[in-house]
Amino acid sequence: MNTGRSAGAVIGVWTVRIALNATFYTQIAGRQFEQISSAHPGMFRTVIPAYVVTDLIFALVFGFLFLRLVPH
């Protein structure tokens, strides 16, 4: 396995997941969460760094599996 190829795959997957999650939670589901939050304060806790780290872990696993399964 090439180190540059694996790093590129992980960074690519991580970037796409962060962009898609940010778009979904700000544009699509944001209004609904905002309404629920205002009706029930303290119900939701926003921990953005945890989501970013979870996306990084997913990207590492996905990149590793992708590079193992796809022929060179």
Higher-confidence position of 71 and 14: 14
pTM, two decimals, is 0.69
Question: Which tokens go with 36?
Answer: 């629920």
Note down the domain range covering 14: 3-69
**Mean predicted lDDT score pLDDT of the chain:** 84
State pLDDT tens for residues 41-71. 877 777 778 888 988 998 899 888 888 888 7
**Chain position carrying tokens 């806790």:** 45
pLDDT of residue 9: 82
> What would you report as the CA-atom Rg of the chain, rounded to the nearest whole angstrom?
16
Residue length of the chain: 72
pLDDT of residue 66: 83
d(CA 11, CA 41): 36
How many domains would you assign to the chain?
1
What is the rounded average pLDDT of the residues 7-33? 87
